[in-house]
Chains A and B, each alone.
Chain A
């Protein structure tokens, strides 16, 4: 291990102690895992008939892959729409307030205040609650099936994530040197143009890792669509277990799929961050995007943030 703030380089004594600690840790973990596996085996959860369906094409073609498609469609739609709305919200929140003498002062102030309130409130309301509400409204109007669940799922995700993306971008702009805005204004760009042409592109680049990490939150949150009957991975795959009583096996497989997708995204975010740092434009990386509510924690490089679910 390279130098750490917590520990000195271990000497012979420390190495011996570490070894003992390692062995004890291994034993405890092995005991817990072993107990769980033994109990599961005892209940017949490793019987081959419960796992065999996963080797057939039918299970994948009719349950898991359509479900995965549902998850990815909802995630993609949610990300694109949230990015658009989040960008618009960010622009509105970032517009420079015209001087009090100008007639535009109070309207702009009102807009900024409204957008600010909107962002705070949509971030405070749980995604699932939003989904249930949208679904309830749709369902009362006879749209509870068909595209209703998809609209509810994507809608719930967009409300929350557009606000988060807005705050991430705003935090990114906050880190830019003040001279950027001043330079933009000085060369004759309007306040809106300065935000759009100078600040946003730089902020988005700087916050790219956080934005990609937010994708993990979105992918995970599509699973909330389960509660509004949306055909995501969990909802579509679960009926297959009515055939074999293998819900444990199914949950393991689904979890593995989610972990693989999200792990890949987090590695991608890390790679992007690494690239950006090499280019030296965002020295130090994003430092403090975190006064927001449950927004992406940019402190840990990979963190998807404790946002959403």
Chain B
């Protein structure tokens, strides 16, 4: 645990209040129409793996795709000179294998850089630093991790978020579903008391039309997830992608993409974001 974000706790609380107050002003679900980056008119095509079911990060909406990951993917692709992107769904357990098999060129899917993954794939990044947090109903009296004693806390199958949380609060009751959307739906009906994963994903749900004002983030962030662009081990374009990320941050596209997708009220960890030195980690 490198940092213990006291500021983030207050920030998240402010976010919760902000969200319950704002109701639909931030234009959270902007589609490709006001895409942050335009692809060049000529060039090759590229396959990029994203999530299909994470509002705010990577979401398939009709024939369109939207989310922070999607916008960053478009920006990176345009920097690399691609004129067309085929988005491919990349479920969490399949990500390394898809890169190894060359099914996709890169993956932007809330994909954290970890030593274990670096053994099998390369990462360019980070392009965002998220942290695990907790989402509860906006009228809930849960204020922090300590308040989760005896509460049902949801995460997805195959994720370690709940287990991490359980180390801090051994008395919580874990519940796992196969998608975050299921957790969010269960949270909105009160079948569970809280859900936990990266604050980006949680903010995405909180900012979603049908849940607006119903959820709030509590307890600050208590981990550091460095989202990187996953690539095949030893891909020669890795450094180019890292440079592209630097450029995207510098020219303001990064901030625009974040605000478009997660709302202007989303208080990210400003100490670590935007990432100072994205690099190629082969």
Contacts and interface: CB of A to CB of B under 8 A. Distances in A.
Direct contact of A and B (CB under 8 A): yes
Contact of A229 (B54, B94, B182, B185): B94
Chain B contact patch, size range:
20 to 34
Interface in B23-63: 52-55, 59-63
B94 A243 contact: no
Interface stretch (B6-14, B77-85, B96-104): B96-104
Contact of B179 (A59, A139, A143, A238): A238
Interface in A125-149: 139, 142-146
Contacts of B185: 241, 245, 247
A106 interface: no
Contacts of A43: 189
Given A142-B100, A145-B103, A245-B184, A62 B60 contact: yes
Contacts of B60: 62, 239-240
B90 interface: yes
Interface in B240-261: none
B210 A145 contact: no
A242 interface: yes
A62 B101 contact: no
A153 B253 CA distance: 42
A277 interface: no
Nearest to A49: B210
A190 interface: no
Q: Which one of A139, A145, A242, A244 has the greatest number of beta carbons of chain B within 10 Å?
A: A242
A239 B53 contact: yes
A102 interface: no
A145 B63 contact: no
Interface string B178-209: 01011011001100000000000000000010
A55 interface: no
Select the residue from A61, A139, A239 with max chain B CB neighbours within 10 A. Answer: A239
Interface in A224-261: 229, 238-245, 247
Contact of A145 (B90, B179, B188, B208): B90
A59 B97 contact: no
B54 A139 contact: no
Contacts of A229: 91, 94
Nearest to B185: A245
Nearest to A47: B210
Given A49-B210, A241-B181, A145 B97 contact: yes
B146 interface: no
A242 B201 CA distance: 12
Classify the interface of chain A: helix, strand, loop or mixed: helix
Contacts of A245: 181, 184-185, 188, 208, 210-211
B62 A59 contact: yes
A245 B187 CA distance: 11
A130 B52 CA distance: 27
A36 to B, nearest CB: 15
A213 B185 CA distance: 37
B22 interface: no
A146 B103 contact: yes
A143 B54 CA distance: 24
B97 A144 contact: yes
B272 interface: no
Interface in A247-285: 247
A227 to B, nearest CB: 9
A58 B91 CA distance: 23
Contacts of A144: 93-94, 97-98, 101
A142 B101 contact: yes
Contacts of B21: none
A58 to B, nearest CB: 4
Contact of B55 (A58, A61, A145, A243): A243
Given A145-B101, A244-B210, A239 B52 contact: yes
Contacts of B63: 58, 61-62
A242 B54 CA distance: 7
Nearest to A43: B189
A238 B103 CA distance: 23
A58 B61 CA distance: 9
B88 interface: yes
A143 B94 CA distance: 9
A238 B179 CA distance: 10
Q: Top 5 nearest A-B pairs by Cβ distance?
A: A142-B101, A58-B62, A242-B181, A242-B53, A239-B53
Given A145-B90, A239-B59, 19 more contacts: A59-B62, A62-B60, A139-B97, A143-B101, A144-B101, A145-B94, A229-B94, A238-B53, A239-B52, A239-B181, A242-B59, A242-B179, A242-B181, A243-B208, A245-B181, A245-B184, A245-B185, A245-B188, A245-B208
Interface of A: 43, 49, 58-59, 61-62, 139, 142-146, 229, 238-245, 247
16 contacts: A61-B62, A62-B60, A62-B63, A142-B97, A144-B93, A144-B97, A145-B90, A145-B94, A145-B97, A146-B101, A146-B103, A229-B94, A241-B181, A242-B53, A243-B208, A247-B181
Interface of B: 52-55, 59-63, 88, 90-91, 93-94, 97-98, 100-101, 103, 179, 181-182, 184-185, 188-189, 208, 210-211
